[in-house]
Amino acid sequence: MEPRMYAYRCTACGKLFHPARAVCRECGGREFEAVPLEGEGTLLTYTRVYALPEGYMKPWLGFGIVEFPNGVRVSGQLNAEDLAVGMKVRATVGVVKEGVGRDYYGFIFEKAAQV
């Protein structure tokens, strides 16, 4: 089974949240349904980190905030060289940190195919 990331929709008012919340900040509801976050989004902002911890075999690591068409904003790693605010990216889920006995999954964004 492939790992997936989710937003959570309040069943009372329909507001989407990521990450999950215990209480809806719009209406106070306490029940939520999972909504898969996938597909394309828009890169709102990004940064590159050059001072990486020991063990990373890359010169830098990119991180960004992406907005999905449903309005949910998430952060994740960027797997692209030529970054620009406003560019379309494709969301995937993958290992963002390898752990001993457990890997940690999160968003990895790649440049979307140009049509």
- Which residues span the domain enclosing 70? 38-115
Q: Yes or no: say if 53 and 69 are a contact pair by the CB < 8 Å rule.
A: no
Shared domain for 32 and 61, answered yes or no, is no
107 and 65 together in one domain? yes
pLDDT tens per residue across span 2-31:
778 899 999 999 999 999 999 999 999 999
Does 4 or 86 have the greater pLDDT score? 86
Query: Is residue 9 within 8 Å of residue 16, measured between CB atoms?
Result: yes
Give the CATH number of the domain where residue 57 resides: 2.40.50.840
| Residue 86 pLDDT > 60 | yes
Same domain, 51 and 15: no
| Judgement on whether residues 27 and 46 belong to the same structural domain of the protein | no
| pLDDT, tens digit, 9 for 90 and up, residues 43-75 | 999 999 998 877 777 888 899 999 999 999 999
CB 62 within 8 Å of CB 83: yes
Residues 62 and 115 in one domain: yes
Length in residues, the chain: 115
**Would you tell me how many other CB atoms lie within 10 Å of the CB of residue 112?**
17
Verify that 92 and 81 share a domain, yes or no: yes
pTM of the entire structure?
0.83
Same domain, 74 and 97: yes
Q: Structurally, how many domains does the chain consist of? A: 2
Amino acid at 77: Q
Tokens 């902002």, located at residue: 45
Q: How much is the pLDDT for 55?
A: 72
Cα separation, 57 vs 11, in Å, equals 44
95, 59: one domain: yes
